[in-house]
């Protein structure tokens, strides 16, 4: 792929490849990489709203942070419409499945707080109506900046277009709860460039979203991960030897897999405040393998870079497949080369008996993995389902070298702080 000249002079790295051969090693239902069954009797956070992508407040190094003893999470959120005639079926019953499936188009950023790291109380919307420049407020990352409680919320402003933006506000605590103030001025940061990252003009199904800023523990600079697709007109990508990898005889046919072009993007900040960014070539590409590597994030452990990203069954290319869940890659330095964890990349997938039970997993540095409940079968055949729109049970994984293991299960939406900041 082509890359633009960088302030690094020479392009600093070649993207690592998640190959078709790697993906052939993905197997659903391996107990060490499968999320325990979620019961259809789950509790819901709220009867008023659906929530999905969950973004715990953290510091720039990735540590989940409480303030004055209060844990805070941000969630993509949409109203439930049980009484809206638009969401009644022919028999006058609430069509919750349609309401849930439509949620992305009206996603807004909300926040919740808790004393216990679970039992979340609804705080409300982060930005007032009219503050965010687009219809959809899609996923990102809230960063606690200092002891004054300042927070930079990086997120994706979608429809029209898709722009990585940020908005600064402040978290305020009392004995009784948490409120967010400010969050009034949204600053656009960057959009896909068409040279490294695919634009809407190149592909109507492009993805460019989900910023995750961080400080590199080794070089100390400010960077940001995001989800993208590899630049180029839809259908023009080549799935060659490198993308196919070392496959057994009979597995050379790539079908229509040139349409799947996901990548994990990276940008470097030109300033200390993270107001001025330069996009760099992707860290990882999945051309010919998968079309979405969403919500990329890191865990820095044992001097290594553990890169996690979520993906779906339906976004896999012809001839390869895997469960909805979180996938991971590991490298000794930020720019790679990255190797798929567990050989395949799969870290925590849904069991095949409940393929949509959870999604949007976020692996935290303490090995806890949070996600939301999407839908759970209620009748054993999978024809009847219960829609979630709420927090899933948290799962514990152990990360060991190039392997991961499921080792524990915790309460619904359990996101304990790793450090507490006392506000001044
Ligand atoms: C993951 C995701 C994100 C996106 C959001 C849109 O669940 O697809 O990539 O920001 O949901 O609702």
pLDDT digits over 313-362, tens only? 999 999 999 999 999 999 999 999 999 999 999 999 999 999 999 999 99
Q: Is residue 74 within 6 Å of ligand 1 at its C-beta?
A: no
**Spatial contact of 191 and 163, defined as CB atoms under 8 Å apart:** yes
Q: Does residue 245 belong to any structural domain of this protein?
A: yes
Which atom belonging to ligand 1 lies closest to the Cα atom of 310?
A: 1
Residue 136 Cβ contacting ligand 1 at under 6 Å: no
Tracing tokens 């046919």 back to the chain, one arrives at 253
Percent of the chain's residues with pLDDT above 70: 97
Q: Which of 268, 213, 259, 208 is nearest to 236 (CA)?
A: 259
**Ligand 1, atom 3: closest residue by C-alpha:** 139
Residue 395 has pLDDT above 90, yes or no: yes
pLDDT by residue (tens digit) across 78-95?
999 999 999 999 999 999
Within-domain flag for 7: no
SS3 assignment, position 289: coil
Residue from 53, 95, 137, 291 carrying the catalytic annotation? 53
Section 109-137 average pLDDT? 98
Residue 157 DSSP code:
E
Q: Residue 5: what pLDDT?
A: 47
Range of the domain at 162: 16-418
Which residue has the least CA distance to atom 7 on ligand 1? Answer: 360
Domain annotation covers residue 2: no
Phi-psi map region of 233: left, alpha, beta (phi>0 left; psi -120 to 50 alpha): beta
Domain-embedded: residue 298 = yes
What percentage of the chain carries pLDDT values higher than 90? 96
10: in domain = no
DSSP SS3 for 197: strand
Name the pLDDT band for 3 (thresholds 50, 70, 90).
Answer: very low
Confidence of residue 2 (pLDDT cuts 50, 70, 90): very low
- Residue 105 burial (CB < 10 Å; 0-12/13-18/19+)? exposed
Per-residue pLDDT band for 194 (boundaries 50, 70, 90) equals very high
In a domain, 36, yes or no: yes
Query: 302 an active-site residue?
Result: no
Question: Residue 1 pLDDT > 70, yes or no?
Answer: no
Q: Quick one: average pLDDT of 53-75?
A: 98
- Give distance in angstroms: CA of 53 to centre of ligand 1: 7
Band (383; pLDDT cuts 50, 70, 90): confident
* Cβ count within 10 A of residue 91: 6
Catalytic residue from among 294, 324, 374, 391: 294
Q: 35 to each of 271, 347, 353, 402, how far by Cα in Å?
A: 40, 9, 11, 19
Helix (H) / strand (E) element for 100: namely helix 96-101
Instruction: Check residue 180 and give left, alpha or beta (phi > 0: left; psi -120 to 50: alpha).
Output: beta
Asked if residue 167 has pLDDT above 60, the reply is: yes
Distance of CA 139 from the midpoint of ligand 1 (Å): 6
Nearest atom within ligand 1 for CA of residue 107: 12
Looking at ligand 1, which atom is closest to the CA of residue 140?
10
Is 69 within a domain? yes
Please state, in angstroms and rounded to a whole number, the distance separating the CA atoms of residues 5 and 268. Answer: 13
| CA distances for 221 relative to 61, 89, 149, 275, 365, angstroms | 11, 53, 22, 14, 19
Is residue 384 scored above 90 in pLDDT?
A: yes
pLDDT of residue 242: 98
Q: What is the pLDDT of residue 381?
A: 72
Residue 137 CB less than 6 A away from ligand 1: no
State the total domains in the chain.
Answer: 1
Residue with tokens 């790679």: 336
Q: What is the pLDDT of residues 225-270, one digit of tens each?
A: 999 999 999 999 999 999 999 999 999 999 999 999 999 999 999 9
95 labelled catalytic: no
Selection from 181, 167, 109 nearest residue 138 by Cα: 109
Q: What is the pLDDT of residue 419?
A: 98
Q: Give the span between the Cα atoms of 35 and 358, in whole angstroms.
A: 9
- For the domain that residue 200 is a member of, what is the CATH number? 2.115.10.20
Distance (angstroms) between ligand 1 centre and the Cα of 292 equals 10
- Ligand 1 atom at minimum distance from 104 CA: 12
Long-range own/partner contacts, residues 237-244 (CB < 8 A, 24 or more apart): 237/261, 237/287, 237/288, 238/287, 239/20, 239/287, 239/288, 239/317, 242/17, 242/19, 243/17, 243/19, 243/20, 243/287, 243/288, 243/289, 244/19, 244/20, 244/21, 244/288
Nearest-angstrom CA–CA distance, 358 and 356: 6
Q: Is the CB of 360 under 6 A from ligand 1?
A: yes
What is the distance in A from the centroid of ligand 1 to the CA of 359? 10
7 pLDDT band, cuts 50/70/90, is: low
Taking the CA of residue 359 as reference, the ligand 1 atom at the shortest distance is 7
C-alpha to C-alpha distance for 381 and 386, rounded to whole angstroms: 13
Q: Which of 100, 209, 225, 392 for mutating ligand 1's site (highest number of atoms within 8 Å of CB)?
A: 209
* 101-113 pLDDT per residue, tens: 999 999 999 999 9
The C-alpha angle 120, 420, 122, rounded to 5 degrees, equals 20
pLDDT for 9 beyond 50: no
Q: Partners of 396 in the beta sheet?
A: 368, 408
Q: Tell which one of 105, 132, 139, 159 to mutate to probe ligand 1, the residue whose CB is within 8 A of the most ligand atoms.
A: 139
Q: What is the pLDDT of residues 25-61, one digit of tens each?
A: 999 999 999 999 999 999 999 999 999 999 999 999 9
**CA-CA distance, 288 to 13, in Å (whole number)?**
21
Structure confidence at residue 11 as a pLDDT band (50, 70, 90): low
Which token pair is 398?
């152990």
């Amino acid at each position: 792929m082509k890359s633009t000249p960088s302030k690094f002079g020479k392009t600093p790295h070649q993207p690592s490849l998640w190959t078709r051969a790697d993906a052939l090693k993905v197997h659903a239902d391996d107990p060490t990489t499968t999320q325990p069954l979620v019961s259809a009797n789950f509790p819901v956070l709220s009867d008023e709203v659906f929530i999905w992508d969950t973004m715990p407040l953290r510091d720039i190094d990735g540590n989940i942070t409480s303030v004055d003893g209060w844990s805070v999470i941000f969630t993509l959120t949409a109203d439930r419409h049980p009484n809206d005639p638009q969401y009644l079926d022919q028999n006058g019953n609430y069509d919750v499945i349609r309401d849930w499936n439509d949620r992305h188009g009206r996603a807004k950023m909300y926040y919740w707080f808790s004393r216990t790291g679970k039992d979340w109380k609804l705080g409300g919307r982060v930005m007032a109506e009219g503050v965010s420049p687009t219809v959809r407020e899609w996923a990102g990352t809230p960063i606690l900046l200092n002891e004054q409680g300042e927070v930079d919320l990086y997120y994706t402003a979608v429809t029209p277009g898709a722009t990585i933006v940020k908005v600064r506000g402040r978290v305020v605590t009392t004995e009784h709860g948490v409120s967010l103030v400010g969050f009034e001025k949204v600053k656009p940061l960057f959009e896909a460039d068409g040279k490294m990252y695919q634009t809407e003009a190149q592909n109507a199904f492009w993805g460019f979203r989900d910023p995750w800023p961080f400080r590199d523990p080794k070089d100390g600079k400010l960077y940001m991960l995001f989800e993208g697709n590899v630049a180029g007109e839809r259908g023009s990508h080549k799935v060659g030897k490198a993308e196919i990898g070392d496959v057994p005889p009979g597995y050379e046919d790539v079908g229509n897999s040139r349409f799947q072009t996901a990548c994990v993007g990276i940008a470097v900040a030109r300033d200390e405040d993270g107001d001025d960014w330069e996009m760099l070539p992707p860290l990882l590409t999945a051309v010919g393998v998968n079309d979405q590597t969403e919500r990329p994030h890191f865990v820095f452990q044992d001097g290594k870079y553990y890169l996690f990203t979520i993906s779906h069954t339906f976004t896999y290319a012809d001839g390869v497949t895997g469960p909805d869940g979180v996938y991971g890659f590991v490298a000794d330095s930020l720019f790679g080369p990255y190797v798929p964890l567990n050989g395949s990349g799969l870290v925590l997938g849904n069991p095949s008996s409940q393929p949509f039970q959870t999604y949007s997993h976020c692996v935290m540095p303490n090995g806890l993995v949070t996600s939301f409940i999407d839908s759970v079968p209620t009748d054993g055949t999978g024809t009847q389902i219960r829609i979630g729109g709420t927090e899933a049970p948290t799962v514990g994984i152990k990360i060991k070298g190039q392997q991961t293991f499921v080792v524990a299960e915790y309460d619904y939406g359990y996101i304990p702080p790793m450090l507490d900041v006392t506000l001044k």
